[in-house]
C-alpha cells in the first residue's frame, strides 16, 4: 500500500467525468487499498478516485463504521433535505454550508465484484452524495447554499 497525492482545487482532473470500471483486477484492488490509506492519513471520511488522479467511477467512504467501497455507483433514490458544513480533502481548510438530500439509496459493486444496495441517512448519505459528485466533476463548492460564497 502507498499514500497517493490528493489533487487540489484547480487541478483539471477534478472537473472531469469518470469512466466506468470494466474489471476488478489486482491493479484496481491496489488502488482501493491505497485510497483507504490515503483517506485515513488525511483524516477524511471519503475519497474518490479522481481526487488521486484516476478517472474511474470509484469512491470509498468511512464515517466510523468501517470502509465502504463503491465501484460504478448509481444513485437510485433521494429524499428529504439536510443542511450542514461540508469540506473536502481537495479543498483543504475550506468549509461551506451545503444542502443535500437527507436520504439516499444507491447501488454499486464492492471490491469483490458483488452488487449491493445501500440506504443511508444523514452523514453517510451526505458522504455518499459528496463522493458521487466527484465522479461527475462536481465539487461541494458548486452546491453551496449562497452562490456569493463560492
Active site residues: 131
State yes or no: 130 annotated in a binding site: yes
SS3 of the chain: the string is CCCCCCCCCCCHHHHCCCECCCCCCHHHHHHHHHHHHHHHHCCCCEEEHHHHCCCECEEEECCCCCCEEEEEEEEEEEECCEEEEEECCCCCCCEEEEEECCEEEEEEECCCCCEEEEEEEHHHHHHHHHHHHHCCCCCHHHHECCHHHC
Q: Is 18 annotated as a binding residue?
A: no
- Known binding-site positions for Fe cation: 88, 130, 134
Amino acid at each position: 500500500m502507498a499514500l497517493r497525492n490528493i489533487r487540489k482545487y484547480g487541478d483539471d482532473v477534478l472537473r472531469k467525468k469518470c469512466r466506468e470500471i470494466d474489471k476488478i483486477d489486482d491493479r484496481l484492488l491496489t488502488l482501493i487499498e491505497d485510497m483507504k490509506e490515503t483517506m485515513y492519513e488525511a483524516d477524511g471520511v471519503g475519497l474518490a478516485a479522481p481526487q488521486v488522479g484516476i478517472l474511474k467511477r470509484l469512491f470509498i467512504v468511512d464515517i466510523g463504521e468501517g470502509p465502504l467501497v463503491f465501484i460504478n455507483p448509481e444513485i437510485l433514490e433521494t429524499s428529504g433535505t439536510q443542511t450542514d458544513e461540508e469540506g473536502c480533502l481537495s479543498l483543504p481548510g475550506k468549509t461551506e454550508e451545503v444542502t443535500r438530500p437527507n436520504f439516499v439509496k444507491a447501488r454499486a459493486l464492492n471490491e469483490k465484484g458483488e452488487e449491493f444496495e445501500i440506504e443511508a441517512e444523514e452523514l453517510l448519505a451526505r458522504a455518499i452524495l459528496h463522493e458521487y459528485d466527484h465522479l461527475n466533476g462536481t465539487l461541494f463548492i458548486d452546491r453551496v447554499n449562497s452562490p456569493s460564497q463560492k
